[in-house]
């Protein structure tokens, strides 16, 4: 084999190696928008309600649109400012509300897509880290309200496994658990680990629980997302309803 041929083979090998090396370190495209199919079952006192629809989320402005198909057709629109509109398609009515509680920044979509899973938004809502411990390879943290703040919760417990939140429990001022949330069935979406199954247990004063299990599927991101509902406009002739008073 001539030295010239050896040199060409060597260069070709180096070139192939560099191409393979570069392809192994392709930077994932950031998730700017996402859509998922959603199905849920809500169980309370032996009876359950089935819910299904689609969820659309866009980072810009924190726009989140949920299109419900069951139990009735409706569209819920909210944003980072806490402006919420609930449109009943059949009745052609719209309920408008505003408040920090309605902000899409309080949704798990925001926490996971914007890298807030370490504290799940607790710091921004007036909680501080009280303690951290390791149990069976999992990180267990306890969060308490900042002094001077008004809060109906005494503490929040959170568990992370391999940097992913898998459990959260909320305790009221009587130190009784009022809500548990489990995050399971993690899937990789671009470079983000995202739970496709979320199960919630909500407990009332009597100790009875309402169980909600949400399953997500058919994940689409960025250009794959049908922006029809992200650009959804509620009909101008929809009747505006007044929020019910408690």
pLDDT mean across residues, the chain: 87
Question: In this structure, are residues 99 and 78 in contact, taking their beta carbons and an 8 Å threshold?
Answer: no
Residue ranges in the chain whose pLDDT is less than 70: 1-28, 148-150, 244-246
**Inter-CA distances, 229 with 23, 54, 167, 216, Å:** 35, 10, 31, 18
Q: What is the pLDDT of residue 244?
A: 64
Query: 42, 211, 32, 198: which is closest to 108 by C-alpha?
Result: 198
Q: What is the pLDDT of residue 150?
A: 61
Q: Which pair of structure tokens corresponds to residue 213?
A: 């299990």
Euclidean distance between CA atoms 133 and 111, whole angstroms = 22
Query: 190, 226, 217, 231: which is closest to 31 by C-alpha?
Result: 190
pTM, 2 dp: 0.82
Handedness of CA 161, 188, 213, 223 (dihedral sign): positive
Locate tokens 């996971």: which residue? 112
Q: What is the pLDDT of residue 4?
A: 47
Euclidean distance between CA atoms 77 and 15, whole angstroms = 51
Domains defined along the chain, listed by start: 29-239 (2.50.20.10)
Query: 198, 51, 49: which is closest to 112 by C-alpha?
Result: 198
């Amino acid at each position: 084999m001539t030295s010239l041929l050896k040199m060409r083979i060597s260069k070709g090998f180096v070139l192939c190696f560099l191409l393979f090396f570069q392809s192994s370190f392709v930077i994932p495209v950031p998730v700017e928008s996402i859509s998922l199919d959603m199905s849920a079952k809500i169980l309370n006192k032996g009876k359950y309600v089935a819910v299904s629809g689609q969820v659309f989320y866009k980072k810009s402005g924190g726009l989140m649109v949920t299109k419900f198909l069951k139990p009735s057709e409706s569209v819920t629109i909210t944003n980072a400012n806490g402006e919420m509109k609930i449109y009943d398609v059949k009745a052609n009515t719209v309920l408008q509300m505003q408040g920090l509680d309605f902000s899409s920044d309080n949704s798990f979509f925001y926490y996971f897509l914007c890298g807030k899973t370490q504290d799940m938004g607790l710091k921004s809502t007036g909680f501080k880290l009280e303690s951290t411990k390791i149990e069976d390879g999992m990180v267990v943290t306890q969060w308490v309200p900042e002094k001077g703040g008004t809060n109906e919760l005494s503490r929040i417990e959170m568990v992370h496994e391999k940097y992913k939140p898998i459990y959260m429990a909320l305790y009221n001022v009587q130190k009784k658990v009022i809500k548990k949330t489990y995050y399971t069935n993690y899937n990789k979406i671009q470079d983000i680990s995202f739970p496709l199954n979320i199960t919630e247990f909500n407990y009332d004063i009597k100790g009875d629980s309402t169980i909600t299990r949400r399953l997500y599927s058919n994940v689409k991101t960025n250009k794959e997302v049908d922006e029809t509902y992200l650009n959804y406009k509620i009909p101008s002739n929809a009747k505006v309803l007044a929020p019910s008073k408690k």
